[in-house]
Amino acid sequence: MGELMEQDINGLVSRQHSYFAEGETRSLSFRIGQLRRLKEAVQGYESRIMEAVRRDFNKSEYESYLSEYSSVLMEINLMLRHLAKWSKPARVRTPMTHLGSRSYIYAEPYGVTLIIAPWNYPFQLALAPLIGAVAAGNCAVIKPSELAPHTSQTIADMIAEYFPDTYIAVVQGDAEASTALLKERFDYIFYTGSTHVGRLVMQAAADHLTPVTLELGGKSPCIVHHDARLDVAAMRIVWGKFFNAGQTCVAPDYLYVHRSVKDDLVNKLIRAIEEMHGERISIGEFTHIVNDRHFERLETYLEDGKIIYGGGRHKDSRLFEPTLLGEVKWEDRVMREEIFGPILPILEYDSLEEAMRQVNSKSKPLALYLFTESQAVQDRVLREIPFGGGCMNDVIYHLVNPHLPFGGVGESGMGAYHGRASFDLFSHKKSVLKQTTRFDFKFRYPHYKNALKLLKKFYR
């Protein structure tokens, strides 16, 4: 079985390399046409996408439309509006030492790309990088997550109906399929998932010196300073943390709140949870945890600290209530691992210096959120804490702005995409100098009399 899979994958990748070599994918008209076709495919499959995500997660139509569907259409539309401009060779300045020449940067596709998508937003996180790959003129192989089988099958059916596999193909399967794919020579690899698997992807890419983008995770802090508008902060934190049952790479992983406002904020968080979610968990409308293993992992985190609110769960349906966890210590397991679920640990600080020192003692987070009315505090945090991206007085919303590059730093990832950044990511920037032949400076050649003297004078 494994050998057959490797043979099938090897043949698929070889066919894509051959097709790319024909050059058809490079033309602007072709790329625009394929983006339009991709948009047609997504719109034609809207109901099936919604149903597949519901079957995999019990996700509401509201959450599915917002997080899986609309953002993909927004990315395609943005790319269609600007691709002609972004694809033009960019002329850049040329120094006087190169008199007579002009300098350009050409964007060209890498070739055959591999996109490995995660399970938490199984449609959006497979299609969003594909949009960049298509816009730049690449071929693509997509590996959806087997943990969202209905969405994976829907993606496979949609792509097979609208595109030849020599151009875009879907390979389904578990870790064995991913391992077989990573043995092949791709020209670019885009991976979204855990830091642990990200290291394995990077190691495999090294065998072929294949460039990679890694969209990973980590513990993203949400800092609430003493001058924050707590009513607004509570609503936005609850919305962002418990969206998709907390199974979001940029969800606030822990709440770090100034001691003087902690009790007030906790009360407002509880009211916000009840206002936003009420008793939905009892009638099964809250998004499910993806599988039993992750459900059981989340249960172990409740052994740390003290449950302030929530904690209820139904194992058979994998429903897990929005939960606030207090009396947590930094050395607890819930504070050492990425939670990826509807549990929000709450810690206190007494000074901004203490909060910044503690955050900076950890790995660089994928996201950081700060609630404060002080511009000086915002400026200081932005200046002194490294992180992938984030929001001031909000959470998650930076992720859905296609004009903001999205990506991590350090253990939270490398490379960034969305909008223009996606086109740039999947394009090699080829530098070209076009020189005149109308004249030729002889002193550039070593045999010319006084060449060194003239060169020194010129460069001064």
Active-site residue list = 215, 249
How many residues belong to the chain? 460
Question: Tokens for 42?
Answer: 């997504």
Read off the tokens for 424.
């740039």
| Residue 96, phi then psi, degrees to nearest 5 | -60, -25
Q: Nearest Cα to 142, choosing from 158, 408, 150?
A: 158
* CA angle, residues 402, 276, 305, in degrees to nearest 5: 95
* 201 neighbors 195 (Cβ within 8 angstroms): no
Q: Are 396 and 251 in contact (CB under 8 A)?
A: yes
> Judging by beta carbons within 10 Å of its beta carbon (0-12, 13-18, 19+), is residue 301 exposed, middle or buried?
buried
Give which of 417, 419, 400, 404 is closest to 85, Cα–Cα: 419
439, two tokens: 């004249």
Q: Identify the CA nearest to 119 among candidates 197, 41, 199.
A: 197
* Cα-based torsion angle of the residue sequence 299, 305, 308, 313 in order, rounded to the nearest 10 degrees: 10
